Amino acid sequence: MKLALSLTLSALLAYATAQQGEWQQCGGIGWTGATSCVSGTVCTKQNDYYSQCLPGTAVTASSSSSSRTSSISSVPPSQPTSPVNAKTNFWFSFGDSYTQTGFVDTDTLPAVGNPLGNPPFPGYTAVGGTNWIDEITVKYNNSLVLTYNYAYGGATIDASLVAPYEPTVLSLTDQVNDFLSSPVVSKPATAPWTSANAMFSFWIGINDIGNSYYQSGSRDAFSDTLLNAYFALVDKLRCRREEFPVHKRAAN
């Protein structure tokens, strides 16, 4: 019911706007809002269900066998337009559907002009539009923020403690392990994050409670078990970070 309400609200908001702003949705199957974009952006198809206004200008395909005019963004989201600079900040995020945007770290990574990497802003959210991490990454940011969002819908802290709604869901444990085995952990030139310019965030718990509250045994004790597992993951990230060269230097 909450989801339906959010969808209705975003549809109403979109309907009231004649032109969609930068990063907003402008088309796709089921989309009933505005399909034109503000100047300086172009409505760009991401898939059958989602088109969005991306920075760029419309060009007409001249050598196409089709007579249709195609809009191509002059700033393809997968290609950085300028190097990551000193003011760039990095965000590594873990969580559930409240945060998910559908990111995987084996596809296009966050870059200038495409701060969420894949899928581009706002990604596949549970609210049919922008969620909190979208808003903070592109709207309420005081600097360039490149967001690596490992959150996965339906996630529990640890699938062996509380089973997710289906076995393919990546738990918080899976997400943290994915990050720790990703090349981005070693601070490559393409993602020069440091402890000073990176933030790690977690939004988790509702699925742990929702999928287990009815079980027998002490729920209080089980909450402690869950929280211990959660803090162990936070610690695992923190300890790994201390192994990184910048921390070694600081310790010496």
3-state secondary structure labels for all residues of the chain: CHHHHHHHHHHHHHHHCCEECCCCEEECCCCCCCCEECCCEEEEEEECCEEEEEECCCCCCCCCCCCCCCCCCCCCCCCCCCCCCCCCEEEEEEECCCCCCCCCCCCCCCECCECCCCCCCCCCCCCCCCCHHHHHHHCCCCCCEEEEECCCCCCCCCCCCCCCCCCCCCCHHHHHHHHHCCHHHHCCCCCCCCCCCEEEEEECCHHHHHCCCCCCCCHHHHHHHHHHHHHHHHHHHHHHHHHCHHHHHHHC
Question: Measured from the CB of residue 22, what is the shortest distance to ligand NAG in angstroms?
Answer: 8
Nearer to ligand NAG, 149 or 156 (CB): 149
Q: How many CA atoms lie within 13 A of 246 on its CB side?
A: 11
d(CA 141, CA 19): 23
Nearest distance from C-beta of residue 140 to ligand NAG, angstroms: 8
Least distance to ligand NAG, CB of residue 141, Å: 4
| Subset of residues 168 to 197 that bind ligand NAG, contact rule: CB under 6 A | none
The interface mask with ligand NAG, positions 56-95, x = CB under 6 A, is ----------------------------------------
The distance of closest approach from Cβ of residue 101 to ligand NAG in the complex, given in angstroms and rounded to an integer, is 14
Site string (104-123) toward ligand NAG, x via CB under 6 A: -----------x--------
Q: Which of 6, 10, 141, 225 binds ligand NAG (CB under 6 A)?
A: 141
CB of residue 97 vs ligand NAG: minimum separation in angstroms?
23
In the complex, the smallest distance separating the C-beta of residue 137 from ligand NAG, rounded to whole angstroms, is: 7
Supply the Cα-derived Rg of the chain in whole angstroms: 20
Q: Least distance to ligand NAG from the beta carbon of 130, Å?
A: 12
Which of 109, 133, 138, 185 binds ligand NAG (CB under 6 A)? It is 138
Candidates 142, 181, 186, 215: give the one binding ligand NAG (CB under 6 A). Answer: 142
Number of residues lying near ligand NAG (CB under 6 A): 6
Interacting residue with ligand NAG among 34, 111, 144, 157 (CB under 6 A)? 144
Q: Which stretch binds ligand NAG (CB under 6 A): 2-10, 42-50, 134-142, 211-219?
A: 134-142
Nearest to 52 by CA among 119, 109, 97: 119
Binding site for ligand NAG (CB under 6 A): 115, 138, 141-144
